[in-house]
Amino acid sequence: MGLNQQMNKLEFDMIVIGAGMAGLSAAGRAAEAGAKVLVAEKQTEIGGSAQYAGFLWTVLDDRVRRGWDDGDPDLGQVVKDNFAEGVNWMRERDMLLSKPTKVLHGNGYQFNVTGHMQDCVKLVRKASGHVALGVEVKKLLKNLDGKVEGALILDDGEMMEVKADSVILATGGFQANPDLRAERIHSNARSIPLRSNTGSTGDGIRLGLETGGAWASENTGFYGHLVSSPTDLDHPSLFTRLSQYHSDYSLLFNENGERFTDESQGDFRNSNELTFQPNARGVLVWDDHVQQEHVLKAFVLGADTEDRLEVALQHGAYGDKVSDLEKLKNVISKWNMDGEKVVQSINEYNHAIQKCPEKLDPPRIYDQRPLNQPPYYALVVEPAISFTHGGLLVDNKSRALNEKGEPIPGLLVAGADVGNVFNRGYAGGLALSLGFALRAVRTAGWTSNKGGDVELYQ
């Protein structure tokens, strides 16, 4: 339901652009503190990409986090510093579905993300705010002093000027924009599958740039996973089922039969690195040890266990199970890849990992075992993108900055619209969204203490 059907006086304490995890968390938290919030969402339902996620987690150990999260350390600290507050907020509202559990290289909780976002909508409405769906934010408004003071919003063919003390951009990145992916990541990224919602096309970044903001840097990273190829991720249920989470225990080769990355760094990083290889296409190879220990066992609490090769084949992918390396060479060659070079590379890898692992190039840091227990499994894969790591230049108070590094008054940023929190690494997407949402709300002057005094964040 749009603005022109609900609002008589279009003045708010805060406008939040985007109704995903970051936007609704910011709106709900501010509303708890008494703020009258307008949430403007261009799609006809809430949720964004967060609706496909299930775990609220991050890496709290500084040394471990630096090993996995290679973005701006000041921005990564925002995620860490706000995690406990965010978890406590979820616990108070019964949104956590598990005890603390290991998630990838960190820790967190199975999480009722849909319930959380729906509850945030209720909090906004309870505080006399509004969640407007199917509306388009055309531009941000600035006063003569350069402070952002609202937005021009198109709703059902009618243009409306909405005033607010602050605006938070939280539109979820630009992963659904092929042209922008090609420009900011790599030409190959134009055609990689989207493992995400279709609405995150860079609207928040565009609004920020038009209002004097700047790109954070040349960040080509993104969060995603390797998926079987060829494939069509035409339904969100396939986002997980076709993802090859075990790639960090496998060997990954490009079309020329060459290893090009340390696979053990994580499947999310492997998907990044494959984007820069010829045709963004490769072959993933694993043996029966990996099959039994990492494919046929849940990779995280609550995950379904399926034979990922069988699922991939059912959906039209190129893959096979073979008894020896000679057969592996032949089957990979049928997929227009250098099967002979793949087998040579496997033999060289097995020799090096057992005799002189320090000579491996690319290295193998975490999982150092030979791939030598037949049968062998091979699957053609490609990277699929979930959200982008490049975005607006933002400081650790969630303030949008101009090219000189100066804050743009009244303009805040949360979630994947923030650039450089991660680069090729990853330490939790929901935690990123929640951390910057909480920080932005405090910077805007709203501290949720169940309706108590509003306290300015310094």
State how beta strands 282-287 and 251-254 pair: antiparallel
CATH of 3-219+389-443, one of 1.10.600.10, 3.50.50.60, 3.40.640.10, 3.40.50.720: 3.50.50.60
Q: CA 426 to CA 444: how far, in whole Å?
A: 27
Query: Is 0.85 surpassed by the pTM of this model?
Result: yes
- Strand-pairing partners, residue 137, are 153
Q: Look up residue 254 and give its DSSP letter.
A: E
Q: Looking at residue 454, what is its pLDDT?
A: 34
The Cα 49–Cα 422 span in angstroms is 17
Average confidence (pLDDT) per 10 residues, the chain, 458 residues: 57 98 98 98 94 91 75 94 97 96 90 97 98 98 97 96 98 98 98 95 98 96 96 86 96 98 94 98 98 88 81 96 98 98 98 95 95 98 97 98 98 98 92 98 83 33
pLDDT at 450: 43
The residue type found at 331 is V
Kindly list the domain boundaries of the chain, sorted by start residue: 3-219+389-443, 223-385
| Residue pair 276/185 in contact by the 8 Å Cβ criterion | no
- Rounded to an integer, what distance in angstroms lies between the CA atom of residue 80 and that of residue 67? 14
Contact 173, 27 (CB under 8 A): no
Q: Read out DSSP for 141-201?
A: EE-TTS-EEEEEEEETTEEEEEEEEEEEE----STT-HHHHHHHT-GGGGGSPB-S-S--S
The confidence score (pLDDT) of residue 199 equals: 95
- Is 185 buried (19+), middle (13-18) or exposed (0-12) by CB count in 10 A? buried
Residue 328, both tokens: 């592996």
Give the fold, CATH level 3, of 223-385. Answer: Flavocytochrome C3; Chain A, domain 1 (3.90.700)
Of 253, 255, 265, 249, nearest in space to 363 by CA: 265
